[in-house]
Homo-oligomer: A and B are copies of this chain.
């Protein structure tokens, strides 16, 4: 199924105004690990500088394909620019990255990573607008593609979701603290309340005065990524208005209605295929059985000594 796999499945998490911000960010990323085990990073702020581990936390887990699994590409990115320091975590992919990168380089910019995220930060830094949200609006109106973004500065947290809403992003509260996460399961783990999903095209600004919502981006057709339901998201998450587990079961039921077959048993490919197989079995009346084992303890067999036994390493 690898040929169908999109290039990036990341998870982001942010929390504002909580004395245990860093620890809760760790727990939030823990709940989002299924979205990426390649790297992770945490930045936090105490309202003064970005290094003190208090009050605000911002985290990122990452999965990417070949070529960029290097330390310089670990997120969050932190930079200094004319307005101070800013850290950003990003889930998604831009489609016009190279065009904008060429423009920025012609203008004199230098690039130290190979991540799209760095382009967004350059655009933000070169905007002359007054407020951070306005500058971010200017920057995001120049890029195209899928993105969920979380920023923290010394004093505020900003969340943004692309106008198509390709990837999920939701908002929660834990006491007085605001929480933003890729999936609702991260809110559940820290026992935060789910408030709502962040809208496609919405920018949310959280500071000491509370939360404000902005819609500076051009409207676009909704386009939630089907792979979130099929593969990426955790079954207990609520994304794109629906529970992932229920969607998976319904997909199985629909498959049974569209493709009737005669068979003795329905056997799922674990783990994301289990609910779909259960739905198929329920709808078709064919018996459901487990028949494949997933070895959870290591990712893959890393010694494959010679051709004749190489195919065995799939336990």
Query: For chain A residues 30-81, which have a beta carbon within 8 Å of chain B?
Result: 30-31, 33-34, 37, 71, 77-81
| CB of A169 to closest CB in B, whole Å | 19
Contact A295 B125 (CB under 8 A): no
- Across the interface, which residues of B come within 8 angstroms of A121, CB to CB? 110
Contact B305 A23 (CB under 8 A): yes
Alpha-carbon distance between A189 and B288 when the two chains are bound, in angstroms: 24
- Across the interface, which residues of B come within 8 angstroms of A293, CB to CB? 185, 234-236
Contact B77 A112 (CB under 8 A): yes
Contact A125 B108 (CB under 8 A): yes
CB-based nearest B residue for A113: B112
CB-based nearest B residue for A31: B315
- Hey, what's the 0/1 contact readout for A298-311 against B, CB within 8 Å counting as 1? 10010101101100
Task: State the copy count for this chain.
Answer: 4
Does A141 sit at the interface, judged by CB under 8 A?
no
The residue that A288 contacts in the complex, of B109, B278, B295, B315, with Cβ under 8 A, is B278
Does A227 sit at the interface, judged by CB under 8 A?
no
CB-based nearest B residue for A190: B312
Contact status of A290 and B235, CB under 8 A, knowing A27-B313, A190-B309, A306-B20: yes
Contact A290 B306 (CB under 8 A): no
The residue that A37 contacts in the complex, of B77, B110, B297, with Cβ under 8 A, is B297
CB-based nearest B residue for A287: B282
Q: B-contacting residues of A (Cβ < 8 Å)?
A: 20, 23-24, 26-27, 30-31, 33-34, 37, 71, 77-82, 105-112, 121-122, 125-126, 185, 189-191, 234-236, 245, 271, 274-275, 278, 288-290, 293, 295-298, 301, 303, 305-306, 308-309, 312-315
Give 8 closest A-B pairs by Cβ, nearest first.
Answer: A108-B126, A23-B305, A82-B105, A79-B110, A33-B297, A296-B296, A80-B111, A189-B315
Chain A to chain B contacts (Cβ below 8 Å), 24 pairs: A20-B305, A20-B308, A20-B309, A23-B306, A26-B303, A27-B301, A27-B313, A30-B313, A33-B298, A34-B295, A34-B297, A78-B112, A79-B110, A79-B112, A81-B108, A82-B106, A108-B125, A108-B126, A109-B125, A185-B293, A234-B293, A236-B293, A245-B290, A278-B288
